[in-house]
Structure 1
Amino acid sequence: MTDYRHRPPGGPRRGRLAAHGHNVFAEMSALAAQHDAVNLGQGFPDTAGPDTVVESAVRALRAGHHQYPPVPGLPGLRRAVADHQQRFYGLDIDPAREVVVTTGASEALAAALLALTSPGDEVIALEPFYDSYSACASLAGATLVPVRLHAPDFTFDTRDLAAAITGRTRILLLNTPHNPTGAVLSVEQLREVAALARAHDLLVISDEVYEHLVFDGVHQPVATLPGMFERTLTVSSAGKSFSFTGWKVGWATGPADLVTAVREVKQHLSFAGGTPFQHAVADALRLPGEYFATATDRLRRRRDLMTDGLRALGFDVRPPQGTYFVTADITPLGERDGMEFCRALPLRCGVAAIPHQVFYADPEAGRRHVRFAFCKRESVLRQALDRLKEGLG
């Protein structure tokens, strides 16, 4: 396998940053505020996570943990991350060498792309994709190459993935459970991806922030497959699993050479931070299995509430297998453009959503789909559905 430890992270950065998605997110939030709309565009919960974890953060603050943690993260949190990977997936991780704590998963992804690609390299990502992927690839001078997930099931053809690989391809960037579609890659799909990665000597960055929010099927990290741990950097965070998105505590795990490369870049981004929150997240990762099962069941009920409600209003909806989000096809309503639909929705119905166009490299793609977040209280979701019924009726 190629040694990536000495790949130069520097060099000229070229390419325009893909800020379009974040601009649209801000626009929809502003419209929601202007029209006092229920904001189902924002992908964060409207309730806090476990009280015990909040109290852990309070104890850390009162104990005086106010200064920088070590750059790789607090030893206790790195141990908790390693134990989590062993407990849930059977992965044997060295907390001292194979874990780095980051300022959310977003920093882990940015640092990984900056560390592991050089100008001119290509990064393959499943499309639609979280818009920071494109921006971070651009910062590194790399090119993001999309491989389309096809509606309505949002599956991909391995032949398309194979055809996208060139001599410049360095990384396969996976996201499962997948934002924005809610698809969960099957074990068979992951095996096919792994076979291509091994055959072409590619690295894999696996974005697994929704790992504990799977409603149908199971989540299996690609790093667990034969020959994949040594070429895979796995990224996750506390934000989605524990409903503390504002704490911005994430991590990356993998072989020591990849983790070291990420850490060397990460120290020039945030250096380190979130000391009291790191103490609390270490405790969160040790919560009993009952917590994870209960949290998933609660969110599954909200998924079903939102999916059934949207379908009753005339949307074409496939229940997502995971994540916070449900994708709805607006064409049965006589609508043709998700951007126009979402821009009108706050005034028309008092609800905000996100058009799928922002998740595609081609702005013409995804026009028929919009994304609603269902990580809100059931009363809020019912209010949103009532407003949609009145405004669309």
Structure 2
Amino acid sequence: MQLQSKLPDVGTTIFAVMSKMALDHHAINLSQGFPDFPISDKLIQLVNKYMEAGKNQYAPMPGVPELRSAISKVIEDKYGYLPNPETEITVTAGATEAIYATLAALVNEGDEVILFDPAYDCYDPSIRLNGGIPIHLTLKQPDFSIDWNKVEESITHRTRVIMVNTPHNPSGAVLNHEDLKTLEELAIKHDLIVISDEVYEHIIFGHSHESALKYEGLSKRCVAIYSFGKTFHATGWKSGYIIAPDYLTKEIRKVHQFLVFSVNTPVQYALAEFLNDRENYIHISDMYEQKRNVFQEALKDSRFEVIPCHGTYFQLLSYKGISDLDDMSMAEKLTKGHKVASIPISVFYQNKQDDKLLRFCFAKNEDTLLKAADILCKI
């Protein structure tokens, strides 16, 4: 049978490739973005509590009411925006499902979607699978900032969506107040939908997170996406949520119901109770900032250049002063020869731009970070 692939240029994601390589070669895995330390015992106990209480059948399609109510209160507390739990909040099977459901619901055949490279690898395929046309703009070096003049020049009558990601994976850059005001002005002027990937909202250093929901003009035309997996170190739970005005939520839920219908029920009840205590999430940035500082300090005598990291749990290192190898070859060499796995940044660019940068995940125990840094300092 002749099969025509919808994604002929897409292979196995780099995260799976590098994690397998790390496993095969017994390397320290700082490639894929998952913590190697346990999640809260209290949260585990709450999941068990609700399993024992019989909360094991399908949840309501938009999410259990208790969780949506808790999310609403958290968002109001953090950003001064009070989303309606019934009509503006949808619990999803992680941020990736949230992104896909949003694009499937809102992008029509031939619509253009502006995104910024280096971009998380699910954006482009999700756009194309739903008939959209990805318009890749490159973030400015060395700070990975957005050239807003270039953005406006790229907007056409077919542009429907702008996708932003702050704090930004893979660079660790963050958008500031001026960025969000400019985005708001452009979205209103050109009648655009904004998809704001904010999954690392609780992992930001020296700044307060500038959510799109803080801006009235954006909140009326924005889909903001969040991740409990990133926030509570439970990436395997695949739990996240979408906040969007009711007219967008209505369309997104039409798709969401046929992708997963609903999300793990006892986990939702557990998260709802866990969110009611601010102490369970307000110190997350402090914890990760400490890990970032430990990793950076341990690398100060290395030949790698440490790129500033303002958010996420990823640290970019430049190896320009060490090798002329392309970044994929360098990542393989480090994994196989030196037993430290990372992610090459060229994979996040449509044009495979190679700036000799590797991404290392510091969501690890400090012993793991120090061991990896010791190896890197000997290169």
Q: So what's the TM-score if we normalise by structure 2?
A: 0.96
Classify the secondary structure of the residue corresponding to 1:303.
helix
Tell me whether 1:298 sits opposite 2:295 in the alignment. Answer: no
Q: Point out the more displaced range, 218-227 or 174-183.
A: 218-227
Classify the secondary structure of the residue corresponding to 1:331.
coil
Classify the secondary structure of the residue corresponding to 2:309.
coil
Deviation at 1:389, TM superposition (A): 2.8
Deviation at 1:319, TM superposition (A): 2.5
Q: Which residue of 2 aligns with 1:351?
A: 340
Identity across matched positions, percent: 38
Q: Which residue of 2 aligns with 1:98?
A: 88
Match of residue 156, structure 1, among 146, 154, 161:
146
Q: How big is each residue's C-alpha offset from its partner over 1:219-238, in whole Å with a ceiling of 9 and x where there is no partner?
A: 02112213221101111010
Task: Say if 1:214 and 1:296, in contact at 8 Å, map to a contact too.
Answer: yes
CA distance in 1, matches of 2:377, 2:338: 8
Write out aligned runs for 1:1-393 (5 A).
16=7, 19-20=10-11, 22-288=12-278, 290-363=279-352, 365-390=353-378, 392=379
CA distance in 1, matches of 2:217, 2:161: 16
Q: How big is each residue's C-alpha offset from its partner over 1:8-32, in whole Å with a ceiling of 9 and x where there is no partner?
A: xxxxx99526634x43222211211
Deviation at 1:97, TM superposition (A): 0.7
Letter in 2 for 1:19: V
Q: Which residue of 2 aligns with 1:10?
A: none
Classify the secondary structure of the residue corresponding to 1:382.
helix
Q: Which runs of 4+ in 1 moved over 4 A?
A: none
Letter in 1 for 2:220: E
Deviation at 1:63, TM superposition (A): 0.8
CA distance in 1, matches of 2:319, 2:31: 16
Deviation at 1:285, TM superposition (A): 2.2
CA distance in 2, matches of 1:267, 1:58: 26
CA distance in 2, matches of 1:14, 1:87: 46
Classify the secondary structure of the residue corresponding to 2:321.
helix
CA distance in 1, matches of 2:146, 2:9: 24
Deviation at 1:242, TM superposition (A): 0.9
Classify the secondary structure of the residue corresponding to 1:268.
helix
CA distance in 1, matches of 2:126, 2:330: 29
Q: How big is each residue's C-alpha offset from its partner over 1:254-281, in whole Å with a ceiling of 9 and x where there is no partner?
A: 1101111111001110111211111111
CA distance in 2, matches of 1:41, 1:31: 10
Deviation at 1:343, TM superposition (A): 1.1
Classify the secondary structure of the residue corresponding to 1:48.
coil
Classify the secondary structure of the residue corresponding to 2:224.
strand
Deviation at 1:48, TM superposition (A): 2.3
How many equivalent pairs are there?
Answer: 376
Q: So what's the TM-score if we normalise by structure 1?
A: 0.92
Deviation at 1:366, TM superposition (A): 3.3
CA distance in 1, matches of 2:14, 2:241: 27
Decide whether aligned partners of structure 1 residues 272 and 68 sit closer, same or farther in structure 2, where only a CA change above 3 A counts.
Answer: same
Task: Say if 2:162 and 2:193, in contact at 8 Å, map to a contact too.
Answer: yes
Task: Say if 1:314 and 1:332, in contact at 8 Å, map to a contact too.
Answer: yes
Task: Say if 2:299 and 2:377, in contact at 8 Å, map to a contact too.
Answer: no
Classify the secondary structure of the residue corresponding to 1:332.
coil
Task: Say if 2:274 and 2:280, in contact at 8 Å, map to a contact too.
Answer: no
Deviation at 1:354, TM superposition (A): 0.3
Deviation at 1:101, TM superposition (A): 0.8
Task: Say if 1:14 and 1:141, in contact at 8 Å, map to a contact too.
Answer: no
CA distance in 2, matches of 1:205, 1:226: 15
CA distance in 1, matches of 2:324, 2:288: 29
Decide whether aligned partners of structure 1 residues 293 and 75 sit closer, same or farther in structure 2, where only a CA change above 3 A counts.
Answer: closer
CA distance in 1, matches of 2:272, 2:323: 49
Task: Say if 1:209 and 1:240, in contact at 8 Å, map to a contact too.
Answer: yes
Letter in 2 for 1:374: F
Classify the secondary structure of the residue corresponding to 1:166.
coil
Deviation at 1:169, TM superposition (A): 0.7
> Is there any run of 5+ residues in structure 2 with no aligned partner, and where?
none
CA distance in 2, matches of 1:54, 1:301: 24
Task: Say if 1:125 and 1:174, in contact at 8 Å, map to a contact too.
Answer: yes
Decide whether aligned partners of structure 1 residues 230 and 72 sit closer, same or farther in structure 2, where only a CA change above 3 A counts.
Answer: same
